[in-house]
């Protein structure tokens, strides 16, 4: 039973990852870099779940109030996760951008093929 709970927490919770061993003992800058790079995934999951629950609540056949409340709460958790990512990016700085790769173009190799 503990195994599936851990997998569920790992899929949905950003805080669970930050409290697990490699990040639990890391310094604040390393945790902020990890949060900057990965919090968007968790925010997208929560925002998607909230949107689906809210749209399901808004259909005329499934007007179940706890479903609407759960949708609003999921949207709020998604927004809080996005806020956490923005604050982490302020601390860690923007992510590094790799230089563009050169791709061969066939229209420039016509002189070499003759």
pLDDT tens figures, 92-102: 888 888 888 88
Q: Quick: pLDDT tens for 20-73.
A: 877 888 888 888 888 888 889 999 999 999 999 999 999 888 878 899 999 999
Say whether 47 sits in a helix, a strand or coil. Answer: helix
- The candidate with the shortest Cα–Cα distance to 19, out of 9, 8, 33, 4, is 9
- DSSP string computed for 85-114: HHHHHHHH-SPP-PPPPP---GGGSHHHH-
The C-alpha atoms of residue 110 and residue 114 are separated, in whole angstroms, by: 7
For residue 35, count other CB atoms closer than 10 A to its CB: 24
């Amino acid at each position: 039973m503990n195994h599936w709970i851990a997998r569920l927490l790992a899929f949905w919770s950003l805080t669970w990852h930050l409290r697990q061993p490699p990040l639990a003992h890391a310094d604040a800058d390393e945790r902020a870099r990890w949060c900057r790079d990965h919090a968007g995934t968790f925010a997208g999951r929560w925002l998607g779940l909230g949107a689906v629950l809210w749209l399901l609540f808004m259909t005329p056949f499934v007007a179940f109030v706890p479903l609407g409340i759960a949708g609003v709460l999921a949207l709020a958790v998604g927004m809080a996760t996005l806020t956490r990512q923005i604050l982490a990016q302020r601390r860690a700085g923007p992510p590094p951008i790799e230089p563009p790769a050169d791709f061969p173009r066939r229209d420039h190799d016509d002189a070499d093929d003759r």
